[in-house]
Amino acid sequence: MICLGCSCLCDDIECEIGEEIKVGNACLRGFRRIDSINENRLTPRVERKEENIDDTIKSAAKLLEEAKNPIIFGPENSTLETEKEAIELAKKAGAIIDNMSSFGYSGYLVEKIFRKEVNTCTLDETRDDCDVSIYWGCDPMSSHPRMMSRYSYYPRGKNRQRGWEQDRDAISIDVRRSLTAEICDKFIKVPPGRDFELMKAFKDVLSGKIPKFGDKKSIMKIGNLIKKAEFGVLFTGLGLNYSINHIDDFIDLVKDTGFRLQPIIEGIGLNKLLFDETGHVNKINYKDKSYGIENNFVEALKGDIDTALIIGSDVASNIPLKLAKRLREINCIYVGPHSNLTSHISKVNIPTAVCGIESAGKAYRMDLKEEDLEKIVDSNFLPDQEILKRIGDAL
């Protein structure tokens, strides 16, 4: 089966669900997701009172119908079908739609990649060809535990037959000695907010100058490694969060090095669908099909949003307290398999099946490889796409 525990979408998972749950090959994150079908499930509620599913769907539709400025957010680990329904719903309700990709630079970078302004590659190409991988402001070992064992560092690839020991170099650049830094052969620790200086230093090395940052010898060494790379891949994550001018400099650096960029991102399916329709990957307002910063979930919440539909993403846990409290004041609807802070502060809770286990569908891996998800066990929960569709139909 395919694991939807993160956007690696590992396709070699063995799974037996009976009296006991037995899972082979999935990492702990993946195993926990499967194991969680029996724990912490969301109950259908309206204003904290338990209701049947039909009534929660009706209430959700009513709130969306009455909304002047609704917003739809998410999902993180779900199916393309769900993502399509979320967009349909945004159209019907005249809502803003956004996801986690606009909380960091991942969305911005993904958009550049979709526009073909920056090179990228697939994870399979990474496995077969990559000789130098850089993890800048991300820690895949923690967030996407099998990415390095399956693709970027440890496996033997078609053209990297001798494996990581002789054929690959890995460089971690982070504010913290993360698990990824722990196993990379090079680690550069950058104090918060100073990545820009390191970028400059690398640019200097690339153009044959002496870098003016940190330990010159090691920067030169790593800079030269980057220069000599035959097939370099640069992974990024939330750690890249400096100002917008700097992110463009960062993109320039990526171009100068000839590296391929792979943002480590969840929910890229929604980004791709939105991009195909509007030319942008997030922050779309379907009221007038406008795109802009004011449609970023955080910014919108500061404005006059009155209703929010959150799908399979614990957004309340990831935003400033004041905004989480604001989310509690407005009409918030949470649709997802498990309870969390967002469901706790929502007026309507609609439980869903855990997709890829209790419901089937398609999903994109972080590099847009499409995978078919199977349904492994029966459950009483409805798939999230069906719930969204029914809310849409009731509008």
Partner 1 sequence: MPVDLCTNVAKDSDLSPMGIYRLLPQTNCKICGETSCMSFAFKLLKKEITLDKCTPLYEEEDYEEDRRALEEMLRPLMEAEMTETGLVIHEDLCFGCGNCVVACPVNVAEDPKGCAIGNGPTSDKVILKVENGKVKAANVESCRRFGEHRILCNACITPCPAKAIEFPGG
Partner 2 sequence: MTFDLTIVTYEDRDIFREEDIFSESYIERAAVIELDEEEMKRYGVSEGENILLHNDDGEVVVKVKRSEEEGGGIGYMPRSPWSSILLSEETKGGILGYKHIKVNAKKTNAPVTDLKVLFK
- Under the binding rule (CB under 8 A), the answer on residue 226 touching partner 1 is no
**Candidates 58-66, 242-250, 364-372, 387-395; binding stretch for partner 2 (CB under 8 A):** 242-250
Choose from partner 1, partner 2, ligand SF4, none: what does 17 bind? Cβ within 5-8 Å by kind: none
Write out the E strands in the chain: 14-17, 21-24, 45-46, 49-50, 70-73, 96-98, 132-136, 169-174, 186-189, 232-236, 260-263, 284-285, 290-291, 307-311, 331-336, 348-351, 361-364, 370-373
Residue 95 to residue 109: CA distance in whole angstroms = 24
Chain centre distance of CA 376: 24
Nearer to partner 1, 187 or 242 (CB): 187
- Under the binding rule (CB under 8 A), the answer on residue 374 touching partner 1 is no
Choose from ligand SF4, partner 1, partner 2, none: what does 338 bind? Cβ within 5-8 Å by kind: partner 2
Instruction: Count the neighbouring beta carbons within 10 Å of the beta carbon of residue 157.
Output: 21
Q: How many helices (H) and strands (E) does the chain have?
A: 17, 18
Q: Which residues, 131 to 190, sit near partner 1 by CB under 8 A?
A: 141, 145-146, 148-151, 154-157, 163-166, 177, 179-180, 182-190
Selected from 175, 206, 251, 368, the binder of partner 2 by CB under 8 A is 175
- Under the binding rule (CB under 8 A), the answer on residue 40 touching partner 2 is yes
**Candidates 5-13, 67-75, 96-104, 302-310; binding stretch for ligand SF4 (CB under 6 A):** 5-13
Smallest gap from Cβ 187 to partner 2, in A, equals 11
| # of chain residues touching partner 2 (CB under 8 A) | 59
Write out the E strands in 52-131: 70-73, 96-98
Chain centre distance of CA 83: 13
> Which amino acid is present at 283?
K
Residue 229 to residue 258: CA distance in whole angstroms = 9
Per-residue x/- marks for partner 2, 80-119, CB under 8 A?
A: ----------------------xxxx--------------
Binding residues for ligand SF4, rule: CB under 6 A, are 3, 5-6, 8-10, 26-27, 29-30, 144-146
